[in-house]
A and B are shown apart, each in its own frame.
Chain A
Amino acid sequence: MRIENIELHNFRQYRNLQINFTCPSGQKDLHIIFAKNGVGKTNVLNAITWCLYDSEMHLGDKYTASPILNSQQVQELREHLVDEKSTLGDSTVRILFSTDDGSEKIRFQRVGKFSVTKEAVIPVGTEFTIMQFKDGEWNSVDDEEETLSLVKKNVPEEIHDYIFFDGEHLENYFKAGQSSNIKNGIEELTQANIIEKAESAFNKYIIEVLNPLFENSSEKDISSAQKELDNIQSAIDASIASIETFTTQIHNCDDEIANLESIINGHVLVSDKTDRLKIVGEQIDSLKVAIDQKKNEMMMFVREYLQYFAMYPAIRDLYNYIQEQDTHGKLPPRIDKFLLKSIEEHKHCLVCDQDLGEHSLTFIEQLKKELEVSSDTSALLNKTIVTLRMYLNKISTYQKKRDFLMEELKDLQNKYNGYLEEEIQINKYLMNIPNTEAINKAIGQKKEYKSKRDEIIAIKGVEEVHKKTLEAQYDGKEKCLKFLINKNKQFEKINKQAIFCKSCRNILRETRIELLAESRSEMEKETFDTFTKLLWKKDTFSKVEILEDYAFRLLDMYGSQTLGSCSAAERALLALSFTLALQKVSMHDSLLFIDTPIGRVDEDNRLNFINTLCEISKTKQVILTFTPVEYDEKVRSALLNQYSTFTELIIEDGVTKIK
């Protein structure tokens, strides 16, 4: 299907405007809508979704948006409000769709009714009508069910995301946590949801009708066995739901890790380097303190030893003098008077531990006398020589102590210089990294996600074991119930129904799972083929994977997820490829309407992306909107002679018109 034209009457800034998308034969079905910001490009998209689904799906904020009814129309209606309290106004959007060969046409029209008072514009309701052109004549479709079915057939609401795009969000289609987009798309277009509904209907009948018949039976064995079976089934269902949640959580973690890796890419050492920088900084500070302390120690050493060296001649000469006096017996012996007194009192030698005789006591008496008469000078000199010897000893050890201190200082300074050099190198490394803070944050978050992922995997493993145990219990209990039922003839009919319903449910379930698996696999192949065909950078990617929980993977040549590290243009192209694949696999060939398609695409890839869209327009209708900033000289040249229609919108007196 393609759009022939759109008519807008009193819809937001549009009073009466028709945009045609005619495509002369042999031309590409490519159409450009060009306008400055605020003129109403996105409101064309809103008009389409409002007309088809009664909802403006591309509004900035629906709660603060002005009413749909054109403000000039509101003003005019208010001017004619004389005695009446309110009057009615309406907004209309008409869209004419046609098949590619033009043989069938279908016109969707929605009229919004508004009650206009002096103070407010109140929506009253909308009328939706469809006209169908078939076999040369227009017929109105009155039946509501048929109307809905025509919308569903041609532009199903569930997949409007895959027809009417907001280019600003295109690159986010496959970001973490967005798998619901893919799930909805695949389930809707493969019609797996219809099978699921039938499967649910059987299941509901089994649970709500048949099982209670067994549960409420007067046969206690059967009743309790059925109840137990129901309980086990509930536990199995809960376990399956948990496992599915864990799987999704694991895939979400994988996606987040891949995104973070794209930020970290090539800068894995940043975190280590930043930590190291901190340690090095601390070492530098503590070494500064240690060096200062060592220098102080050395200054004290110098200050002390200078006395010995500067006064060495004086020390030496006095030492020599005292020694000479001592040698010639001119100084009294170095004997402790108090020790002698104590020995005398005890009459026992405290040195050799022997009792003293008369002769010894007399000798001590004489010694004591000698000491009493010795001069103060002798005592002072005796005391001094001990200190002088200590000074001489110190001088003799000067070289050793000096070298030791100098070596220690040198060692500290070498360490300090080493750390300073390391600090310079780390800072140089970190200066070349564009956003160290973001990378550090990403490294930290990646660690957290990895550990979270490991935890979930462990819990999932436990849950899987639990599920297996429950299933074994279920099998055993089911056999037991079957045996009891078979024995009892009154349940024969119900049992047959139960067997039939369970069998139908299981077949439907298996069919649905198989269909989805097949569709997923087909989608993987088709998306990847389309992507690589359209992609300007060849040999970069190896495979697309859509996992069972619809997590999306784009693998590189080494089998690693690369979605997070793709450029915005590549991600947008992947979204387009997925859409095209989805439309192809489901045989639901829709147009593509992309609002500001290159808004998020970097300058280098803009032309690549435009060329890709031109390529797509060979096989299907593509409508693109541009702002003057996006539609620069290069884009203009690339699109020259490629499009069928070019519509420039301008705003005059608050009303959007075609220039």
Chain B
Amino acid sequence: MAKTALNIAKTYNNGFIANFENNKYFQLNKNATARADLYFFAIACAMMEKKEPTTLQTVGSIDSFVRIEYLKDDCPALLSSLYYEKILKDEPDKIDDICNRDEVYELAEKYANTGFGILKEWSESLEEEALFYKLIAYMDKKYEEIKDEVNKYI
């Protein structure tokens, strides 16, 4: 049966993520950030820190976090990119696997939960403002590195 939701480790969902509702850390509470956006933010954190993903089972029992039907129109493209980069890039013949969405979602879950681990650490050690400038500094550096390349596509 096809996947109907993107999952999260229960320990995260009931722990620091639940706390966001009170501490409104980085505006990651439900009212300010949709669950799908938080999920993708977690994936981005994992990518940013270049952490290899762990299998979801290693973080214990799981909760469903985002229903697939609630993903925004542009979300599949981001997940496809991740899947292409991590799985298909060196085996372009298997490009048709990109249509196997369950596999794409499973890979996303791994990265997302790795990202949640990072987010948990940040939320416990960094003030909002410090995190803000950390991420801005990262993007500024990245932008300097890629801006010429990106402009070629535009």
Contacts and interface: CB of A to CB of B under 8 A. Distances in A.
Contact of B81 (A300, A377, A388): A388
Interface string B68-84: 00000110111011101
A340 interface: no
Interface residues of B, number: 46
B45 A306 contact: yes
A399 B151 CA distance: 13
B151 A396 contact: yes
A393 interface: yes
Given A302-B132, A307-B78, A392-B150, A321 B47 contact: no
A173 interface: no
A381 B136 contact: no
Nearest to A323: B153
Contact of A399 (B76, B132, B143): B143
Contacts of A402: 136, 139-140
Contacts of B52: none
B41 A307 contact: yes
Interface stretch (A23-31, A95-103, A310-318, A552-560): A310-318
Given A302-B135, A318-B81, A311 B44 contact: yes
A377 B99 contact: yes
A302 B136 CA distance: 7
B44 to A, nearest CB: 4
A311 B81 contact: yes
B128 interface: yes
B63 interface: no
Given A309-B143, A310-B48, A384 B77 contact: yes
Contacts of B124: none
A277 to B, nearest CB: 30
A392 B81 CA distance: 13
A24 B45 CA distance: 109
Contacts of A389: 153
A133 interface: no
Contacts of B154: 392-393, 396
Contacts of A376: 96, 99
B153 A392 contact: yes
A384 B44 contact: no
A53 interface: no
Contacts of A384: 76-77, 80-81
B146 interface: yes
Interface string B46-70: 0110000000000000000000000
A270 to B, nearest CB: 39
Contacts of B142: 309, 312
B2 interface: no
Contact of B150 (A306, A381, A395): A395
Interface in A279-336: 295-296, 298-300, 302-307, 309-319, 321
A318 B40 CA distance: 18
B132 A298 contact: yes
Interface string B85-105: 110010010011011000000
Contacts of A321: 84, 92, 95
**Main DSSP-derived SS at the A contact region:** helix
Interface string B117-150: 0000000000010001001101110110011011
A630 to B, nearest CB: 67
Contacts of B45: 306, 310
B81 A303 contact: no
Contacts of A310: 43-45, 47-48
B4 interface: no
A148 B92 CA distance: 134
B41 A395 contact: no
Given A303-B41, A384-B80, A387-B74, A314 B85 contact: yes
B27 interface: yes
Given A309-B143, A377-B95, A299 B132 contact: yes
A370 to B, nearest CB: 18
A298 B136 CA distance: 10
B149 to A, nearest CB: 7
Nearest to B26: A299
Nearest to B140: A402
B30 to A, nearest CB: 14
Q: Which of B41, B44, B92, B150 has the most CB of A within 10 A?
A: B150
B14 interface: no
A656 B33 CA distance: 90
B24 to A, nearest CB: 9
Contacts of A390: 74
A643 interface: no
Given A302-B136, A380-B98, A387 B47 contact: no
B1 interface: no
Contact of A311 (B26, B82, B92): B82
B84 to A, nearest CB: 4
Contacts of B150: 392, 395-396
A375 interface: yes
Contact of B80 (A295, A307, A380): A380
Contacts of B77: 383-384, 387-388, 391
B80 A318 contact: yes
B32 A307 contact: no
A631 interface: no
9 contacts: A299-B26, A299-B132, A300-B27, A306-B139, A309-B143, A310-B47, A318-B84, A384-B80, A402-B139
Given A311-B81, A399-B143, 8 more contacts: A303-B28, A306-B45, A306-B48, A309-B48, A317-B81, A317-B84, A319-B153, A390-B74
Interface of A: 295-296, 298-300, 302-307, 309-319, 321, 375-377, 380-381, 383-384, 387-393, 395-396, 398-399, 402
Shortest Cβ-Cβ A-B pairs, 7 listed: A387-B77, A314-B85, A310-B47, A314-B81, A310-B48, A310-B44, A307-B44
